Amino acid sequence: MERREFETLVGKALDGIPDELYNFLDNVDVVVEDWPTPTQLVVSDIEDGEYLLGLYEGIPLTARHEYGNVLPDKITIFQRSIEEVCDSKDEIIEQVRDTVVHEVAHHFGIDDERLHELGVA
C-alpha cells in the first residue's frame, strides 16, 4: 500500500474518535513509520516472530503532574508491520483502526490488561 493511502487510513481512524476524547489529544504527534526500531522492539518486549503494530511514547494523562513545556507525546503506527499481519486491504483498514484506538487508549492511561478486558487489545 502506498504511504499516502496508509496515512489516510490513520487519519480516518483518528477522525472516528469521539470529539469529547479527541479534544484531549492535545500535544500528541501521530506518525507513520515502516518498521519499529530495535530499541522500540526491546522497550515493548516484542519477541522474535511477533510484530509491533503501534507504539505510544509519552506520559499518559493519568500520570501527569506539573506537566508543561515538554515535547509532544508520540503515537507511531507501523505500516509494514500491519501489512505483514493482514491478508487484505479490508483487514489493513480494520487493523489500522484497532491499532490507533489501542495507542490512543494508552495516552488516556489504559494499560494492555484493561484493553484485553474491554476486548480492544
pLDDT digits (tens, 9 = 90+) for 84-116: 999 999 999 999 999 999 999 998 888 888 877
Going through the chain in order, the beta strands assigned E by DSSP cover: 28-33, 54-57, 73-78
In this prediction the pTM is 0.89
102 Cα distance to chain centroid: 6
Locate the domains of the chain by residue range.
3-114
29-33, 80-84, 109-113: range with lowest mean pLDDT:
109-113
Burial of 99 (C-beta count, 10 Å sphere; 0-12/13-18/19+): buried
CATH architecture of 3-114: 2-Layer Sandwich (3.30)
Q: Does pLDDT of 64 surpass 80?
A: no
Q: For residue 20, is pLDDT > 80? A: yes
Answer yes or no: is pLDDT of 4 > 70.
yes
